[in-house]
Structure 1
Amino acid sequence: MEYKPGVDVHGKPVAPADLPDGYAIEVPTSIDIAITADIARRFGIATNNLYRGEAQIGTVTVQGNQVLFNGKPMQSAAEADLIALCAKTPH
């Protein structure tokens, strides 16, 4: 069967797949990722809605092709340290 726009394989009309203009997504120039440690879970402390037991270690920012940790460019040693820290942290 040959392709025909606007109809399905049985010849019934279908809605077009094109979306109207105005739904463009703007990609941010930078993306921030909070690096946290669940201290309560690590030490077996019970939490509730008032206490989460989470500590922020820092922020990783991706700007174009550059990765920053707390505003400073990540170098090989810092990147390896961050990967090791994430591997140790229970998920």
Structure 2
Amino acid sequence: MQAAFLPTMPEDMLAVAQQALGPLQWYRCPNGHPCTVGECGQPMERSRCVDCGLEIGGHNHRPVAGFTAGNVQGDRTQTGHVLGDRAGGICQTC
């Protein structure tokens, strides 16, 4: 079962978003949170990261400090389960 994929395993939502949104330029805020820039893929306006509130974007195709283009990493969903450790009264032979 260690190599099995169970429905209880959370999906890599970044990979799902990248696939659903199509060919956009992906960036990361200074804290590493992912976001996208549409149109030409270069930042033209400033905003705030929805996760941490830091400034993102840019002006005239120049990103603000720490706002960097990110690579599409592909699906990082892992096999296994999210039920926790087998300790604590659960049968150790299962």
Same fold (TM over 0.5): no
Structure with larger RCO (C-alpha < 8 A, sep 6+): 2
Task: Identify the TM-score tier after normalising by the shorter chain.
Answer: under 0.3
- TM-score, length of structure 1 as denominator length: 0.21
Q: Which entry has the higher C-alpha Rg, 1 or 2?
A: 1
Q: Which has the higher helix share?
A: 1
